Amino acid sequence: MSMNTLPLRHELKYFINERQYFVLSGVLDGILNRDPNGDEYNEYHIRSLYFDTVFNSALFDKLDGVQNRDKYRIRIYNFSDKVIKMECKTKVGSLISKRSISIPRLLCEQLMAGDPAGLETTRSGLLNDMFREMTINLLRPVVLVDYVREAYLHPAEEVRITFDKQLRTGLWSKELFNPYVPPTPPFDENVMILEVKYNKSLPSYIRDILNTYCQGACPSAISKYTWCRRFEFPGEEA
């Protein structure tokens, strides 16, 4: 898909501590809508299997600050195979976009094994791109990324505010559907990631709340994917 036709959104990311989380989440819970996918605690588990080329292009493009780049992943929720998403997250300057399509488990298993044959006859633009990347650039699965998400929504500008907690890497395991993969935290477990996504402009009262309750937290180009590969490339974090 041409970058000119992608629906682009703004994305802000912050590292925050537990105190900031407890205060801010309490305020947001009183004024925004909870994510309907959450449980009684407004949480759900996300596991993504990220793909990269044999040259780790996605990783080093991120570390080198390349403005326009793609990351491919397969994502599941709560360790279930009921919903399996093939996704491509695109960065265009300071803006982001995501394409997503549901795939069956059989195709997922093939892609996890590095076999793109099941994509040959697809009519999906995203899956066509995945086929091209796997056959030409030797895209293959590289790392599992696990975390628990708590999300709040507002219809104005499609605002979505998420707290991503308990970030874990599966290290060298690629077993997407195995709930017993030994997870390893890539940084201090008391730190979590706040993400704010919106279309054209963030409502002023939400911006004021973030400024008030996230004092000391600066927007940062945080990549969960990059952090979860830090044990393969010590010192390469973002």
R_g over Cα of the chain: 18
- The residue among 153, 145, 238 whose CA lies nearest residue 196 is 153
How distant, in Å, are the alpha carbons of 4, 88, 133 from that of 38? 33, 23, 33
pLDDT for residue 236: 60
User: Mean pLDDT over all residues of the chain?
Assistant: 92
Give residue-wise pLDDT tens across range 69-112.
Answer: 999 999 999 999 999 999 999 999 989 999 999 999 999 999 99
Residue 101, number of CB atoms within 10 A of its CB: 15
- The residue among 214, 166, 215, 172 whose CA lies nearest residue 187 is 166
Residue 162, number of CB atoms within 10 A of its CB: 20
- Residue 235 — pLDDT band, cuts 50, 70, 90? low
Q: Is the whole model's pTM more than 0.95, yes or no?
A: no
Please give the average per-residue pLDDT across 112-126, as a whole number.
93
d(CA 195, CA 199): 14
The CATH classification number of 3-227 equals: 3.20.100.30
- Contacts for 107 with CB less than 8 Å, ≥ 6 apart: 118, 119
> Is residue 152 exposed (0-12), middle (13-18) or buried (19+ Cβ within 10 Å)?
buried
